[in-house]
Amino acid sequence: MLLIRCPYCQEERPELEFRHAGEAHVVRPHNIADISDEEFEAFFFHRANPKGITHERWRHVHGCGRFFNAVRDTVSDRFVTTYKAGEPKPALEEHKA
């Protein structure tokens, strides 16, 4: 089982308390009714799906209930770091092994 650090509970907690919630930093357009079908498609369906470092939303659903963001490596399945919702993407240099 993975241990995931919740930035609100400030400790590592078992994976079973968490739920994955898709890619992070996907910004919903403010003018959603005005954008083209292609622009909506890009916002709604297209995801980066990289091999390597990715940014994800997670929710500590059976803990504090908060949504937060995580930097995760899709190759090693490792959590690089986690940070509170609303915070910018952390600089990655310091986390590279």
Partner 1 sequence: MAEIATRMGPLDGRSLATNAVVIEAARPASRIALRAPSASLAALSLALGVDLPDRPKSAASRGTRHAFWLGPDEWLIIDEDRTDLNVACRGAEVLHSCVDVSHRNTAILVSGARVEDVLSAGCPQDLSLEAFPVGACSRTVLGKIEIVLYRTAEDDFRIEVWRSFSDYAFTLLTEAARDLSS
Site of interaction with Zn ion (CB under 5 A): 6, 8-9, 60, 63-64
Closest CA to 52 of 24, 16, 25, 76: 76
Stretch that binds partner 1, among 31-39, 47-55, 57-65, 69-77 (CB under 8 A): 57-65
DSSP letters for 12-68:
EEEGGG-EEEEES--PPPTTTTTS-HHHHHHHHT-----SSEEEEEEE-TTTT--EE
Stretch that binds partner 1, among 9-17, 27-35, 72-80, 89-97 (CB under 8 A): 9-17
Q: Which is nearer to Zn ion, 12 or 39 (CB)?
A: 12
Q: Which is nearer to partner 1, 52 or 65 (CB)?
A: 65
